[in-house]
Amino acid sequence: MRADRLISILLLLQNNEKLTTKALVQELEVTERTIHRDMEALSAARILVLAERGKLGDWRLLEQYRTKLTGLKEGEIKSLFLSPSFQLLSDLGFTGDY
């Protein structure tokens, strides 16, 4: 699911200063094109992920976008990224208070 993958990308970038596309592809088991589309989706959501050119081509979050999410529960993190439509959440199999 794309929302889960976007959250995973953010958490990976939170925990690692920089990651290559190759590392993200291996970790998330998707294609390079999928990683690039996901980075575009994050940018569209105004979460700036920088691409650094060069041999390794790293991705990183701007420092102002790095935060500690360790105090949040799983449901709280999902609610930050998912539509507030309770019907949509129900259709996706999520239950509980979001």
Q: Whole-angstrom Cα distance, residue 58 to residue 50?
A: 8
Q: Domain containing 31: what range?
A: 2-67
Region of 29 on the Ramachandran plot (φ > 0 left; ψ -120 to 50 alpha; else beta)? left
Who has greater pLDDT, 92 or 56?
56
Residues 88, 43, 93, CA angle at the centre, nearest 5°? 20
For residue 8, what is the domain's CATH number?
Answer: 1.10.10.10
The domain tally of the chain equals: 2
Q: Band of the pLDDT at 40, cuts 50, 70, 90?
A: very high
Buried b (16+ CB within 10 A) or exposed e, 49-84: beeeeeeeebbbbeeebeeeeeeeeeeeebbeebee
Same domain, 48 and 35: yes
Residue 63 has pLDDT above 70, yes or no: yes
